[in-house]
Structure 1
Amino acid sequence: MDKNKILLDAKEWFKDSFAKSHIANTEKLINPKEFNINHFTAVYLANFLTGNSSPESIAKALLYPRVLGTSVTTIFGTGIQKFTSDVLGTFGSTTNGIDIEFIDQTDGYRKYCQLKSGPNTINKDDVETIAGHFTDVIHLSRTNNLRIAHQDLIVGVIYGKPDDLSNFYKKITKNYHYPVYIGQDFWHRLTGDFNFYDDLLAAIASVATETDFSKEFDDVIKALAATDEIKSISNHE
Structure 2
Amino acid sequence: MIDKNKKMEILEGARRWFREVIAKNHIRNTLKLTNPKEFNIHPFLASYLANFLSGNSNPTNIAKALVYPRVLGTSITTSFGQNIQSFTSVLLDAFGSTTSGIDIEFIDQVDGYKKYCQLKSGPNTINKDDVETIAEHFKGVINLARTNNKRIPRDDMIVGVVYGTKNDLSSHYRRITYQYDYPVYAGEDFWLRLTGDSNFYHDLIEAIGSVALESDFSSDLEYVIKELSETEEIKKLSNIM
Is 1:75 aligned with 2:73? no
Give secondary structure in 2 for the equivalent of 1:209. Answer: helix
**Structure 2 unaligned regions, length at least 5:** none
Is 1:140 aligned with 2:144? yes
Cα distance in 1 between the residues matched to 2:231 and 2:128: 41
Match of 1:165 in 2: 169
User: 2:214 pairs with 197, 205, 210, which one?
Assistant: 210
Cα distance in 1 between the residues matched to 2:193 and 2:92: 14
- Number of matched residues? 237
Check conservation: 1:141, 1:148, Cα contact below 8 A: yes
Match of 1:120 in 2: 124
**Structure 1 unaligned regions, length at least 5:** none
Check conservation: 2:89, 2:104, Cα contact below 8 A: no
Length-normalised TM-score, structure 1:
0.95
Residue 88 (structure 1) shift: 3.7
Superposition pairs for residues 95-106 of structure 1, below 5 Å? 95-106=99-110
Superposition pairs for residues 224-235 of structure 1, below 5 Å? 224-235=228-239
Deviations 1:17-43 (A, max 9, x none): 111111111111101111121223111
Cα distance in 2 between the residues matched to 1:14 and 1:231: 36
Cα distance in 2 between the residues matched to 1:188 and 1:50: 44
Cα distance in 1 between the residues matched to 2:86 and 2:198: 25
Give secondary structure in 2 for the equivalent of 1:39. Answer: coil
Check conservation: 1:158, 1:186, Cα contact below 8 A: yes
Length-normalised TM-score, structure 2:
0.93
Cα distance in 1 between the residues matched to 2:216 and 2:239: 33
Match of 2:19 in 1: 15
Deviations 1:123-161 (A, max 9, x none): 111111111111111112222222321101100000011
Structure 1 segments of 4 or more deviating over 6 A? Answer: none
Q: For 1:202, give the aligned amino acid.
A: E
Check conservation: 1:13, 1:86, Cα contact below 8 A: no
Residue 89 (structure 1) shift: 6.5
Check conservation: 1:84, 1:99, Cα contact below 8 A: no
Superposition pairs for residues 26-65 of structure 1, below 5 Å? 26-65=30-69
Cα distance in 2 between the residues matched to 1:197 and 1:90: 15
Q: For 2:238, give the aligned amino acid.
A: S
What is the Cα-based RMSD across aligned positions, in Å? 1.4
Cα distance in 2 between the residues matched to 1:218 and 1:107: 51
Q: For 1:173, give the aligned amino acid.
A: T
Match of 1:25 in 2: 29
Check conservation: 2:46, 2:65, Cα contact below 8 A: yes
User: 2:70 pairs with 57, 66, 72, which one?
Assistant: 66
Residue 3 (structure 1) shift: 2.5
